[in-house]
C-alpha cells in the first residue's frame, strides 16, 4: 500500500517535471513567433509596406506560345495566328456601359458580345481587362485605331489563336484544343501542373494536341506589374519570360492523307497505313470527319448537336475506337498459328465440300462458297479465303493456343499508339466468356473465331499493326505519330523506332503465309484487281464482316438488306510484297466486299506512296477562315499574352 502510494507520488512529480518542460517549450516557440512578427511588422515593415500599400504588385502570368504540329513534309497541321480584339479596362459599371454604347457606333457589337462581356467580367479578377469584341478584321481595327483617343480605357490588342489549316483532314489524329474545364483542372491539380496553367485558357482535348500537351504547352512565365488604386497597370517591374512549347513533327504524309481521303470519298470507315520497319504512321483516316476549328474555344450547341447526333458518328475516332470483326483478314494470322504449331504444313490438304461440322454434330458451318473449293492446302486457303479450312484449324488449335499466339501480333491489347483513348479490342477466351456472360465456352465459339467472327473484335489500328508485323517478319514496331520534337531554341530531338514485341517465327512459315498473301492480289486471288497492272507486288488479304447475323439455311442477299446493315468491307495489305515499305488496314463500313470496295483505295494509296503520283493540293489558309462562319467569329478569344502593349514596354 505504501509502495503504491509512493509510486503514485513519484508518478505525479514526474508528470509535473514534464509539464514544466512543456511550458518552457511553449514559451520558447511563442517567443519565436513573437520575434518573427516583430521582424515582419517592425524591422521589415517598410519593405512590405512598399509591396502592399503604395504600389500593389500583381503577378501576371505570361502564357507561352503553343508549339506547332507539322506533318513529315513540314506542312503545318496546327498553327497560331494573330487576330485583333478589343478589351475594356476595369472601371465603374455605369462608365463601362457608356463606353460600350459609344463603341458600338464605330464597330459592330452584338447582343451576344454584350452578354459574354458581362459574364466574363463577373468571373475575372479586378485588375484584368475583359474583351468586348473579338476577331476584328483589318478594316474594323483601323477604324478603331483612328478613334482610339476617344476611348482611353479601351485597348486594341492582338492575340494568338489556334488554327487547323487542314480543318477536317486528319482531324482525328491532330485533335483540337478547347477551354480548360473543371475536369482538366482536377487532372492538372493531381499532376501538380496547375500553376503552369495560370493564365492559360486552353488545353489539348483530343488527339496529338492532348497526347503531347506537356510538350506543346510550354512553360508559363510571369511578370510583376505595379497597379494603381483603380487596378490599372502602371509599369512592369520584372519579367520572367515564358518558354514556348515544343513543336511536334508527325510521320504522317498529308499528301498521302489527301489521296486516301479522296479515294475513300463519301464512304464511312477507317484507314491506317504504317511503315512496317519503323512503326511510323503514314496515314490515319477516320470517315466521316469534322472541322477541328469548330472546337477551338468551345463548340456552339448547333454544331455540337449536328455532329453528335449524326447517324454517321463523325466524332468517333474509328481507327483506335471503332471495334469491328476481323473477318477473313484474321486468316493469315490463324495460318501462322497453325504452321508454328506444326499443323496444316504443306502438302497437307483438306477436301472442302462447302461446310464444316464438329465431330458428333450435324450443325453445318458453311463456307462462303456453297459448293466448296475441293482440295485446299494452306496457301490456297488464304488465296481463295476458304472458310472450311480455317474452321477446322481453329478447332484443332483450340481457343487458348490460338488466342495466345495471335496476341503476339497485337490483337486483344492496345497498340500503344500516341493518341489518347485507344481501345484494346477483344480476343475472346473461355475465362473472358465466363466473366462476361457467365456461360461456358462452346466448341462452336472456337469454330467461328477461325474466320475472325464471333466475339473477336479488332480496331483498324490493330489490324494495321498486325499486318505491319507480318510484313516485318514478325518483329513488331511500336506504332507512333511523333518523329521529332523541336524546342523553341531550334534544338531537335528525333525519336528512334521502338521494337515492341519480337516473336521469333520460323522464316519458312512466314514465307508460306507471305507468298500466299502475295497471290491474293494476283489473278485467281480475292483481291486480283488490287494487283492488276501494278509495277510493284502487293500482298494482302480481304475480309467481309457480317453486320447482321444470318440464320442457318438462309442466304445473304445484298438487295434485301438496308444500306446500314450491309457487310463491312475489310482489306489488309503491304507493298512491295518482298520488301515492304508500307502496310495498311482498311475498313469500309457497309462496303460489302473487301476486294472490290476497300482494295481500290489501297491501290491508290500504294500508287502514290511507292510511285509518287501527285494529287492536287487543297488547303484552307488561316486568313480565309476569318469571317467564314458567323458562329465561329463570336467564340471567346484565347488570352495568349501577346499584347502589342507589353511587347512595346519591353
Partner 1 sequence: MNSESITKLFKHFDAFLMATLMFALLIGLFVLYSASGESMGPVYKQLINIGVAFFLMWIVTNISPSDLQRLALPLYLVGVLLLVLVEFFGTTSHGAQRWLNLGIMKIQPSEIMRIAMPMMVAWYLSKQDGKLTAKHYFFGGLLLILPVGLIMMQPDLGTSLLITASGFYVLFLAGLSLRFLLGSSIFLLAMSPVFWSMLHDYQRTRIEILLDPTTDPLGAGYHTIQSMIAIGSGGAAGKGWMNGTQTQLEFLPERTTDFIFAVFGEEFGLLGNLMLLVMFLLIIFRGLMIASEADSGFSRLLAGSITLTFFTYAFVNMGMVSGILPIVGVPLPLISYGGTSMVTLCISFGILMSIQSDKKLVAR
Residue 564 lies near partner 1 (rule: CB under 8 A): no
Give, rounded to a whole angstrom, the gap between the first and last alpha carbons of the chain. 87
Report the residue from 24, 52, 145, 649 that binds partner 1 according to the rule CB under 8 A. Answer: 52
Question: Of residues 1, 2, 42, 105, which one binds partner 1 by CB under 8 A?
Answer: 42
Lookup: cell for 555: 442466304
Please tell me whether residue 351 binds partner 1 under the rule CB under 8 A: no
Distance CA(128)–CA(231), nearest Å, equals 8
Q: 366-385 as b/e, with b when 16 or more CB fall inside 10 Å?
A: bbbeeebbeebbbbbbbbbb
Q: Which of 2, 92, 126, 551 binds partner 1 (CB under 8 A)?
A: 126
Least distance (Å) from partner 1 to the CB of residue 180? 15
Does the protein bind partner 1 through residue 49 (CB under 8 A)? yes
Least distance to partner 1 from the beta carbon of 512, Å?
51
Q: Please identify, using beta-carbon distances, which residue of 192 and 508 lies nearer to partner 1.
A: 192
217-256 residues near partner 1, rule: CB under 8 A: 220, 222
Each as own residue / partner, the long-range contacts of residues 177-183 (CB below 8 Å, 24 or more positions apart, any chain) are: 177/66, 177/202, 177/203, 177/204, 177/205, 177/209, 177/295, 177/296, 178/202, 178/203, 178/205, 178/295, 178/296, 178/297, 178/298, 178/299, 179/297, 179/298, 179/636
Q: Which stretch binds partner 1 (CB under 8 A): 18-26, 159-167, 574-582, 616-624?
A: 18-26
**Could you tell me which stretch among 54-62, 274-282, 373-381, 522-530 binds partner 1 (CB under 8 A)?**
54-62
- Nearest to partner 1 of 40, 443 (CB atom): 40
Determine if 24 is a binding residue for partner 1 (CB under 8 A): no
How far, in whole angstroms, is CA 251 from its chain's centroid? 15
Residue from the set 92, 125, 362, 617 that interacts with partner 1 by CB under 8 A: 125
Q: Is 192 in the site for partner 1 (CB under 8 A)?
A: yes
Distance, in Å, from the CA atom of 380 to the CA atom of 373, rounded to the nearest integer, reads 9
Residue 298: other Cβ atoms inside 10 A: 13
> Which CB atom, from 60 or from 383, has the smaller least distance to partner 1?
60
Asked if 29 interacts with partner 1 (CB under 8 A), we say: yes
Q: Residues 73, 101, 181, 189: which binds partner 1 (CB under 8 A)? A: 189
Ramachandran sector of residue 88 (left: φ over 0; alpha: ψ -120 to 50; beta: rest): beta
C-alpha span between 260 and 481 (Å, rounded): 17
Active-site amino acid positions: 328
DSSP code string of 83-146 = EEEEEE----HHHHHHHHHHHTTTS---HHHHHHHHHHHHTS-TT--EEEEEEE-HHHHHHHHH
Return the number of the residue (48 or 375) whose C-beta is nearest partner 1: 48
Distances (CA, A) of 353 to 13, 332, 372, 378: 103, 22, 5, 16
Contacts of 532 (CB under 8 A, 6+ apart): 523
Retrieve residue 2's grid coordinates.
505504501
User: Which CB, 148 or 187, lies closer to partner 1?
Assistant: 187
Task: Out of 14, 150, 400, 436, name the contact with partner 1 by CB under 8 A.
Answer: 14
Instruction: Give the side-chain half-sphere CA count within 13 A for 395.
Output: 15
- For residue 85, the minimal CB distance to partner 1 (Å) is 24
**How far is Cα 31 from Cα 44, in angstroms, rounded to an integer?**
18
Collect all residues with Cβ–Cβ distance below 8 Å to 391 and sequence separation of at least 6: 356, 365, 447, 448, 450, 451
Tell me: does residue 7 bind partner 1 (CB under 8 A). Answer: yes
Indicate the residue among 185 and 499 with the shorter CB distance to partner 1.
Answer: 185
Binding of residue 2 to partner 1 (CB under 8 A): no
Contact between 59 and partner 1 per CB under 8 A: yes
Which one of the spans 95-103, 194-202, 390-398, 515-523 is the region binding partner 1 (CB under 8 A)?
A: 194-202
Q: Pick between residue 245 and residue 428 the one whose CB is nearest to partner 1.
A: 245
Is 193 or 423 the residue whose CB approaches partner 1 more closely? 193
To the nearest whole angstrom, how small is the minimum distance from the Cβ of residue 15 to partner 1? Answer: 6
- Listed residue (357, 583, 321, 598) closest to 469, CA to CA: 583
Closest to partner 1 by CB, 3 vs 146, is 3
- Count the Cβ atoms, other than its own, within 10 Å of residue 8: 10
Check residue 578 for interaction with partner 1 (CB under 8 A): no
Of 37-45, 404-412, 532-540, 594-602, the window that binds partner 1 (rule: CB under 8 A) is 37-45
Residue 550 in contact with residue 510, Cβ under 8 Å?
no
Binding residues for partner 1, rule: CB under 8 A, are: 4, 7-8, 10-12, 14-16, 18-19, 22-23, 26, 29-30, 32-34, 36-38, 40-42, 44-45, 47-49, 51-53, 56, 59, 61, 125-126, 186, 189-190, 192, 194-196, 198, 220, 222
Amino acid at each position: 500500500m505504501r509502495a503504491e502510494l509512493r509510486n503514485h507520488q513519484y508518478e505525479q512529480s514526474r508528470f509535473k517535471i514534464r509539464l514544466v518542460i512543456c511550458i518552457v517549450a511553449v514559451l520558447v516557440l511563442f517567443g519565436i513567433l513573437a520575434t518573427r512578427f516583430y521582424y515582419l511588422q517592425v524591422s521589415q515593415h517598410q519593405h512590405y509596406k512598399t509591396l502592399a500599400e503604395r504600389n500593389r504588385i500583381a503577378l501576371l502570368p505570361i502564357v507561352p506560345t503553343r508549339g506547332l504540329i507539322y506533318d513529315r513534309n513540314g506542312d503545318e497541321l496546327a498553327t497560331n495566328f494573330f487576330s485583333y480584339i478589343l478589351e475594356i479596362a476595369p472601371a465603374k459599371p455605369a462608365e463601362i456601359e457608356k463606353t460600350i454604347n459609344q463603341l458600338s457606333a464605330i464597330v459592330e457589337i452584338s447582343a451576344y458580345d454584350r452578354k459574354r462581356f458581362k459574364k466574363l467580367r463577373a468571373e475575372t479578377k479586378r485588375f484584368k481587362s475583359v474583351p468586348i469584341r473579338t476577331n476584328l478584321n483589318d478594316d474594323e481595327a483601323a477604324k478603331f485605331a483612328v478613334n482610339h483617343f476617344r476611348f482611353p480605357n479601351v485597348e486594341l490588342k492582338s492575340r494568338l489563336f489556334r488554327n487547323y489549316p487542314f480543318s477536317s483532314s486528319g482531324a482525328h489524329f491532330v485533335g483540337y484544343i478547347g477551354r480548360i474545364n473543371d475536369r482538366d483542372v482536377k487532372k492538372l491539380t493531381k499532376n501538380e501542373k496547375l500553376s503552369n496553367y495560370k493564365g492559360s485558357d486552353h488545353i489539348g482535348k483530343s488527339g496529338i494536341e492532348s497526347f503531347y500537351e506537356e510538350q506543346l504547352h510550354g512553360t508559363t512565365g510571369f511578370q510583376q506589374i505595379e497597379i494603381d488604386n483603380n487596378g490599372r497597370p502602371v509599369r512592369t517591374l520584372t519579367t520572367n519570360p515564358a518558354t514556348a512549347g515544343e513543336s511536334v513533327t508527325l510521320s504522317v504524309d498529308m499528301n498521302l492523307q489527301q489521296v486516301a481521303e479522296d479515294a475513300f470519298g463519301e464512304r464511312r470507315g477507317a484507314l491506317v497505313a504504317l511503315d512496317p520497319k519503323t512503326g511510323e504512321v503514314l496515314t490515319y483516316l477516320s470517315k466521316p470527319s469534322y472541322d477541328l476549328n469548330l472546337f477551338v474555344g468551345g463548340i456552339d450547341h448547333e454544331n455540337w448537336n449536328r455532329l453528335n447526333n449524326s447517324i454517321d458518328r463523325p466524332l468517333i475516332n474509328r481507327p483506335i475506337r471503332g471495334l469491328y470483326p476481323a473477318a477473313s483478314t484474321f486468316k493469315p494470322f490463324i495460318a501462322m498459328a497453325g504452321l508454328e504449331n506444326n499443323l496444316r504444313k504443306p502438302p497437307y490438304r483438306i477436301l472442302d465440300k462447302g461446310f464444316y461440322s464438329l465431330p458428333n454434330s450435324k450443325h453445318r458451318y458453311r463456307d462462303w462458297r456453297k459448293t466448296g473449293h475441293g482440295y485446299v492446302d494452306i496457301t490456297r486457303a488464304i488465296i481463295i479465303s476458304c472458310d472450311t479450312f480455317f474452321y477446322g484449324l481453329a478447332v484443332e488449335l483450340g481457343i487458348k493456343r490460338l488466342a495466345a499466339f495471335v496476341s503476339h501480333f497485337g490483337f486483344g491489347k492496345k497498340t500503344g499508339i500516341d493518341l489518347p483513348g485507344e481501345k484494346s479490342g477483344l480476343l475472346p477466351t473461355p475465362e473472358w466468356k465466363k466473366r462476361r456472360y457467365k456461360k461456358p465456352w462452346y466448341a462452336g465459339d472456337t469454330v467461328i473465331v477461325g474466320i475472325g467472327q464471333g466475339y473477336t473484335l479488332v480496331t483498324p489500328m490493330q489490324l494495321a499493326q498486325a499486318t505491319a508485323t507480318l510484313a516485318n517478319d514478325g518483329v513488331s514496331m511500336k506504332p507512333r505519330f511523333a518523329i521529332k520534337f523541336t524546342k523553341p531554341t531550334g534544338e531537335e530531338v528525333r525519336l528512334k523506332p521502338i521494337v515492341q514485341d519480337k516473336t521469333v517465327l520460323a522464316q519458312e512459315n512466314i514465307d508460306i503465309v507471305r507468298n500466299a498473301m502475295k497471290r491474293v492480289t494476283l489473278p485467281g486471288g480475292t483481291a486480283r484487281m488490287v494487283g492488276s497492272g501494278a509495277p510493284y507486288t502487293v500482298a494482302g488479304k480481304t475480309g467481309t464482316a457480317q453486320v447482321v447475323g444470318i440464320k442457318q439455311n438462309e442466304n445473304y442477299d445484298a438487295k434485301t438488306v438496308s444500306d446500314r446493315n450491309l457487310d463491312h468491307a475489310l482489306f489488309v495489305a503491304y507493298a512491295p510484297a518482298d520488301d515492304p515499305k508500307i502496310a495498311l488496314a482498311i475498313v469500309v463500313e457497309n462496303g460489302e466486299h473487301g476486294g472490290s470496295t476497300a482494295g481500290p483505295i489501297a491501290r491508290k494509296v500504294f500508287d502514290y506512296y511507292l510511285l509518287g503520283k501527285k494529287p492536287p493540293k487543297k488547303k484552307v489558309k488561316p486568313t480565309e477562315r476569318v469571317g467564314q462562319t458567323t458562329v465561329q467569329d463570336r467564340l471567346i478569344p484565347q488570352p495568349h499574352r501577346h499584347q502589342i502593349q507589353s511587347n512595346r514596354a519591353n
